[in-house]
Amino acid sequence: MHATSHATRARAEADRIMTVCNSCRYCEGLCAVFPAMEMRRAFPDGDLDYLANLCHGCGACYYDCQFSPPHEFNVDVPRTLAEVRAQSYARYAWPAAFSSLFARNAHTVSIAAAVGILLFLAGFGLLERDSFLIAHTGAGAFYALMPHAAMVFVFSLALLYALASLGMGLTKFWRASGGMAQAFMTPRFLLQAARDAGKLRYLDGGGAGCVNENEYPGDRRALFHHFTFYGFLLCFAATCAATLYHYVLGREAPYAWYSLPVLLGTVGGMGLLIGPAGLFAAKLHRDPALREPESRPMDLAFIAMLFLTGASGLVLLFFRATAMMGPLLAIHLGMVLALILTMPYGKFVHGIYRFAALVRYAHEKAQSKEAALS
Amino acid sequence: MPDPERHYDVLIAGGGNAALCAAISARRTGASVLVLEAAPKFLRGGNSRHTRNMRLAHDTATETLTGPYTEEEFWEDLRRVTGGETDEDLARFMIHESKDMLHWIARQGVRFQPSLGGTLSLGRTNSFFLGGGRAMLNALYRTAESLGVVIRYEAKVVALEIEDGHFRSATFVMGERPYRVEAAAFVAAAGGFEANIPWLKQYWGEAAENFLIRGSPYNLGTVLKLLLEKNVQEVGDPTQCHAVAIDARAPRFDGGIITRLDCVVFGIVVNKHAQRFYDEGEDVWPKRYAIWGRLVAAQPDQIAYILFDASCLTLFMPSLFPPIAAPTIRALAGALGLDPDALEKTVDDFNASVRPGRFNPTELDECRTEGLAPPKSHWARRIETPPFYAYPVRPGITFTYLGTRVNREARLVMRSGATSSNMFAAGEIMAGNVLGRGYAAGVGMTIGSVFGRIAGREAARHARN
C-alpha cells in the first residue's frame, strides 16, 4: 500500500499516482505501462524507474483521465513519469561521478561539441597548417589532414568507452528494477522488444494516436522519431560500409556520391535533419501540462546534437572538393566525437533503458500469461 | 465567436454522452445546434466522464467483444435488474436500436478495447471505451466541433419559456451575464439531480448531508425541475437513487470509480456502534453492491466499517485509499473510534458462528455462519489473522431515478398525456423510463447514446419542417 518510501519526491508522486491508476485501470488499453502496473500492488523505486522508462510520453492518458488536473486527485502520469525517467538516467549513469553531467545537460552537450570541434580545428590547423585550407581531391583526401589510423584510433576508443559506460548503466538499471537476467538471454523477448521499439508501438495512444498540443490526437512525433532513429542507423551503417570499403576493398575515402557509404550517409543525414526538426517543433508546441521542464534542456540538446551532426555531414559532402573541406571535416568530426562521448550522459540513454523496459515487459507478460493458464 | 443570442434550430441542454450524441445526430440531419454545458471545459460531460463501457446488443463476437449478446438476453437482463419496473415497449425498442449504436458511435470517432482487467464478466456484453469515458467524450466533442456544433461551457440554463408543451426559448447564464436563446426544438440532456443536496434532503432528510456524490457536481437537476414545473410528465421514484458504499475518505463530489470497495463479501460490516446489520455474503458482489449504499444510509450517521483480516487483502481490486490497519481488533476499534469491547464481541460472536467449509472467492461457496443474526451466508471465514484492516464507508450516490417521460421518438410527454411538439429528452434525465430501479453495468450509456441519437435526429427534423 503506501508503505514504500522513496528516494525522491518525483518517485513518491509516481507511487501515489500509480495507486490511483491501479484502482481505475481505464487506460489499460493505451500502452504497456498500465498493464505492467496492474501486475503490481506496491511500487518501490526500481519498479517506478522501470514503468517510467516503459512510458513513451504519448500523452493520451493525460487527456483521457477524469482525474487529471485541475481535479483534486491531480493525476498527471506523462509528466510525473517523465520526471522519474529523467532522474533515472542520472541515477544509473556510469561512472556514478559523472551523473552530475545530467543536471546541466545542455551545458554538458554544448561544451562537448565545442571542445570536439575546437580540438579538430586546432589539430588540423596546427599540425597540417599547409594543407588545412586548400582543396584536396581524389582518394585519401581526408587523410591529408588526419591519418586514417589516427581517426580509427580516436573514434574506436571513444565508441568503446561509450559502449562500456552504456552497458554498465544498463546493468545497474536492470538490477534495480528487479529484472531477471534470463529475460535478456531469451531471443523471443528481445525480438518482441525490438519490434515494439522499432515500430514505436506504444507511441500511438493504443491506436487512437498520440496527443501533444491539446486533447485531440494528431501528433506526428512517432513519424519524426522514425526519421531520426532510422536516419541515425543509416549513418551508422554508412560508417560500417566505409570501413568495409577501406579494409576489404582497399578503397580510400572520399567515395563517389553513388557509392554505398555516401548513399547511406546522405539518406541518413537527411533523416537527421527532418526528424530532429520535427521533434523540435513538436516540443515547442507541446501542451504545458505535459511538459517536464527539468528534462527539457537535455531533450533539446540531444535533438540539436543529432541535427547538427547530420547537417555538418551533409555540408561536408557538398563542399568536400573545395578549400573548405578542412574546417568542415573538423566540424563534422568534432560533432561526431562529442555525440559519441556524450551518449552515456544525455538523452541517448532513453533508447537503451526503454528497450530494456520493453524486454522486461515482454518477459512479465509471458509470465503472467503462464500464471493465468496454470 | 458566434452570437449566443441568435436563433438555433436545435438547443441542447447538457454536455454528456446523450447531449453530444444528440448534437452530432441533429447536426448530421442538417440543423444548426447550440450545446449548453454547465460545467467548465475540463469537467465537461457530466457522469459520462466516469463511465467506462456501454451495453449494446450484438449477434456475433467482435474484435473486442467475446461473444454474442442478443436482444432477448439484453431484455431479460434489464427486466431482471429492474424487477419489471421498466416500459417494456420502450426498453425493447432501445435494445433493438442499441445494435446499430455499436457502429454509429464508432463512426463518431469513439474507440473500443477488450474488457478491462477485473471485469471479465462483462467482456461479452459490454463495449469498453479505449481510455475510458473521458476519452469517449473527447472523441464526441471533437466530432461535434468539426461538424460545426456550437458549444458553450459554464453556460447554466436558468429558465425555459414553454407554452402548452411548446418550447420557445431558454435563458442561460454565462460569466454572470444572462442570455436568451430561441430555438425551433429543445433537447434536455442535462442529467439527474444527485449533486443537489437540498433536493436530496427532501426525501432523505439530514442524512443526505453525509452522502458522497460519485460524479459531477454539476448534476443539479435544474433542467429537470424546470421541465416538471412546466407540466412535463414525471417518471421514476423521486425518492430513489443508485447508491453504493464507497470509501468515506472520498471527496464530496467527483471521486469516480476509484473509491469503490469490493471487499464487503470477504469481511463483516459494522455500524458506529460496532454492530453488524446485514448479511454481507448474501449473493455475489456484482448482484449486491448496489444495495449497500442504502443500507449504510440507514445506519446512524450514515457511516459503516468493512472489517477483514490479512488473508483477504489481495482478493479484491485495489482502491484509492489504503485500509486502516491494526495488530489487534481492539487497536483497530481505537483507530476507527469504535467501542473496543463492542467490536471485540461482534468479531468473537461472528468467529464463533463460522462453520467450516471450502472457501471460493469467485462463486457462492459453502462458508457460512450458523446461529448468528444477521447471518453471513457465504464467504464467512474467521477474522483472526493479523494485521486487521478496515475501510470506513459512506453512501456514494451515482444517479437519481426521477425523470421525464418520453416516447419512442425521445419526445417529451406532457402530464395531460399529449406529446410535446418540439421538446425531447435523452440520458439520465429520462433514464427512469426504461430503468425504474436497479442497474446493469453500461445501461446508462446505452440510454444516453440511443435516445440522444434519436432525440437529435427528431429535433432536427422538427426544426427543418
Give the model confidence (pLDDT) of A41-60 as tens digits: 899 999 999 999 999 999 99
Cell of B434: 426504461
Chain B: give the shortest CA distance to residue A229, in Å. 29
Q: Flag whether residue B168 sits within 8 Å of chain A, measured between CB atoms.
A: no
**B247 forms bridges with which residues in the sheet?**
B393
Mutate to test the interface with A, among B17, B53, B116, B154 (most CBs of A within 10 A): B116
pLDDT at B444 over 80: yes
Nearest to B256 among A38, A67, A208 (CB): A67
DSSP calls for A222-282 = HHHHHHHHHHHHHHHHHHHHHHHIIIII--PSSPPTTSHHHHHHHHHHHHHHHHHHHHHHH
Residues B86-109: tens digit of each pLDDT: 999 999 999 999 999 999 999 999
Chain A: give the shortest CA distance to residue B450, in Å. 23
Place of cell 568530426: A333
The pLDDT of residue B5 is: 58
- Per CB-CB distance under 8 Å, the chain A contacts of B323 are 1
Measured CA to CA in angstroms, residue A364 lies from A37, A350, B6 at distances of 11, 20, 59
Q: Give me Rg for the CA atoms of chain A.
A: 23
The SS3 call for residue B400 is strand
Cβ count within 10 A of residue A147: 12
Nearest Cα neighbor of B433 from B82, B165, B76, B188 is B82
- Per CB-CB distance under 8 Å, the chain B contacts of A73 are 258, 320
- Per CB-CB distance under 8 Å, the chain B contacts of A61 are 131
The backbone torsions φ and ψ at residue B68, rounded to the nearest 5 degrees and listed phi first, read: -70, 155
Cα separation of the two ends of chain A: 27
pLDDT at B300 over 60: yes
* A:47-66 residues touching chain B, CB 8 A cutoff: 60-61, 63-66
Chain B: give the shortest CA distance to residue A247, in Å. 54
Distance between CA atoms of residues A264 and A258, nearest Å: 10
Cell of A94: 556510469
Cβ partners under 8 Å of residue A221, min gap 6:
A203, A210, A212, A278, A279, A282
Place of cell 492518458: A61
Distance between CA atoms of residues A61 and A286, nearest Å: 15
Q: Flag whether residue A369 sits within 8 Å of chain B, measured between CB atoms.
A: no
Q: Report the percentage of chain B scoring pLDDT > 90.
A: 91
pLDDT at B3 over 60: no
Cell of B128: 469498453
Q: Does residue A79 contact residue A86 with C-beta atoms inside 8 Å?
A: no
CB contact under 8 A, B258 and A23: yes
The pLDDT of residue A128 is: 85
The pLDDT of residue A1 is: 45
Chain A: give the shortest CA distance to residue B288, in Å. 20
CB contact under 8 A, A1 and B323: yes
- Per CB-CB distance under 8 Å, the chain A contacts of B322 are 1-2
- Per CB-CB distance under 8 Å, the chain B contacts of A27 are 131-132
The SS3 call for residue A192 is helix
Nearest Cα neighbor of A10 from A101, A78, A104, A63 is A78
* A:291-310 residues touching chain B, CB 8 A cutoff: none
Cell of B260: 469503490
Distance between CA atoms of residues B401 and B46, nearest Å: 16
Q: Flag whether residue B50 sits within 8 Å of chain A, measured between CB atoms.
A: yes
Cβ-Cβ pairs closer than 8 A, A with B, add up to 90
pLDDT in tens, chain A (374 residues): 455 789 899 999 999 999 999 999 999 999 999 999 999 989 999 999 999 999 999 999 999 999 999 999 999 999 999 999 999 999 999 999 999 999 999 999 999 999 999 999 999 999 888 888 888 888 888 898 999 999 999 999 999 999 999 999 999 999 998 878 888 889 999 999 999 999 999 999 998 888 888 888 888 999 999 999 999 999 999 999 999 999 999 999 899 999 999 999 999 999 999 999 999 999 999 998 888 888 899 999 999 999 999 999 999 999 999 999 999 999 999 999 999 999 999 999 999 999 999 999 999 999 998 888 87
Measured CA to CA in angstroms, residue B29 lies from A14, B14, B465 at distances of 47, 19, 12
Q: Flag whether residue B337 sits within 8 Å of chain A, measured between CB atoms.
A: no
Cell of B179: 442570455
- Per CB-CB distance under 8 Å, the chain A contacts of B128 are 29
- Per CB-CB distance under 8 Å, the chain B contacts of A38 are 117
In chain A, which residue's Cα lies nearest the Cα of B43? A66
CB contact under 8 A, B133 and A24: no
Q: Flag whether residue A122 sits within 8 Å of chain B, measured between CB atoms.
A: no
The SS3 call for residue A124 is helix
Cα separation of the two ends of chain B: 28
pLDDT at B2 over 60: no
The pLDDT of residue A107 is: 94
Q: Which long-range contacts (CB under 8 A, 24 or more apart) does B334-337 make?
A: B335/B390, B336/B305, B336/B390, B336/B392
Q: Flag whether residue B322 sits within 8 Å of chain A, measured between CB atoms.
A: yes
Mutate to test the interface with B, among A22, A27, A28 (most CBs of B within 10 A): A28
Nearest Cα neighbor of B48 from B137, B128, B118, B113 is B137
Distance between CA atoms of residues A256 and A242, nearest Å: 11
User: Taking the alpha carbons of A72, A73, A79, A84 in that order, is the dihedral positive or negative?
Assistant: positive
CB contact under 8 A, B130 and A71: no
Distance between CA atoms of residues B182 and B7, nearest Å: 5
3-state secondary structure B334-369: HHHCCCHHHHHHHHHHHHHHECCCCCCCCCCCCCCE
CB contact under 8 A, B131 and A206: yes
CB contact under 8 A, B133 and A20: no
Distance between CA atoms of residues A46 and A7, nearest Å: 10
Measured CA to CA in angstroms, residue B315 lies from A11, B263, B271, B293, B362 at distances of 27, 8, 23, 22, 10
- Per CB-CB distance under 8 Å, the chain B contacts of A24 are 132, 256-258
Burial tier of A370 (Cβ tally within 10 Å: 0-12, 13-18, 19+): exposed
β pairing state of B388-400 and B241-247: antiparallel
Nearest to A207 among B111, B116, B258 (CB): B111
Q: Tell whether pTM > 0.90.
A: yes
In chain A, which residue's Cα lies nearest the Cα of B320? A20
CB contact under 8 A, B318 and A29: no
Nearest to B130 among A24, A29, A70 (CB): A29
The pLDDT of residue B285 is: 87
Chain B: give the shortest CA distance to residue A162, in Å. 40
Cell of B174: 454565462
Q: What is the interface pTM, i.e. ipTM, of the complex?
A: 0.92
Nearest to B322 among A1, A20, A38 (CB): A1
Residues B358-372: tens digit of each pLDDT: 999 988 999 999 999
Chain B: give the shortest CA distance to residue A17, in Å. 10
